[in-house]
Amino acid sequence: MKRTTANLAIDLLAAAFFLGMLATGYILYFTLPPGSNRTLALWHGSRHQWGQVHFWLSTGFLAILLVHLALHWKWIVVVLAQRFGLERKVEGGWILGSGVLAFLVVASLAGLFAWWTEMSVQEREPLHRLVGEPLDGKDGLTAKEAIQPTAGVADKIDFWKEVYPIIEKACLRCHGPRRGYGDFRADRKEDYFGAPGKQAFVIPGQSHQSSLIAIVTGQRPDMAMARSHLLPDREVAVLRAWIDAGAPWPEKEPVK
């Protein structure tokens, strides 16, 4: 390939990557805004996945820019040398050497940056504040609402239709027939109400005293995998309403 053809190809590629960055940036800003990761998808991709596409497009763009600079390196060195009156000293070795040096400087800056972010990263807020955040800015309960007494809704709660599906979705993969962390089976009634010699996680009528609620609202940050136990406020509210209604657990799941 001739040099000009290579340059043209590189520039076209750079333009394509740049447009891709712009498009995914638009998607992340407008179509799938922050907080929409769990609720929205575009062409089967969540916000999180589009964020990754955006990152790799930027990385590719950077790589193409570096190739572009490398192809023009001789020109850059000569122009700079002229600018500082050194053109008579410039020879082949100079060009290669300064190229390697520039690359090393850029690479160590990138490494320093990665190290700096690694050292500076911090936990933003205690776990229970995360739960207080509205789910999607629209339909989430605030932390305050989620702790209000739930009497009134309580008698409308249907265990198998509303409560159990939450547990099934959020807990069974770690506390089910296949895996039973902490000697707790989320699909066994007696494990909630305290079999002889076992702790009760649910105290009927008293959601405030029930450690099940403490666990799913992040008030037990000390326990193993605390984050895997957090539930969105709406689901917490359902569990609370169920407990405050006396935590009825009818014998069998009705045939659907």
What is the number of other CB atoms lying within 10 angstroms of the CB of residue 213?
Answer: 22
- Are residues 158 and 254 in contact, defined by beta-carbon separation less than 8 angstroms? no
**Both structure tokens of 138:** 């629209």
174: Cβ contacts below 8 Å, ≥ 6 apart: 181, 225, 228
Asked whether position 171 contacts ligand HEC by CB under 6 A, the answer is yes
- Are residues 162 and 249 in contact, defined by beta-carbon separation less than 8 angstroms? no
Q: Which is nearer to ligand HEC, 98 or 219 (CB)?
A: 219
Q: Which is nearer to ligand HEC, 57 or 231 (CB)?
A: 231
Give dist(CA 229, CA 217) in Å, integer. 8
Q: How far is the CB of 184 from ligand HEC (least distance, A)?
A: 4
Asked whether position 231 contacts ligand HEC by CB under 6 A, the answer is yes
Asked whether position 154 contacts ligand HEC by CB under 6 A, the answer is no
Comparing CA positions, the residue from 233, 237, 249, 214 lying closest to residue 152 is: 237
Which 200-219 positions form the footprint of ligand HEC (CB under 6 A)? 201, 212, 215-216
Asked whether position 141 contacts ligand HEC by CB under 6 A, the answer is no
Asked whether position 53 contacts ligand HEC by CB under 6 A, the answer is no
Interface residues toward ligand HEC, by CB under 6 A: 170-171, 173-175, 181-182, 184, 186, 201, 212, 215-216, 223-225, 228-229, 231
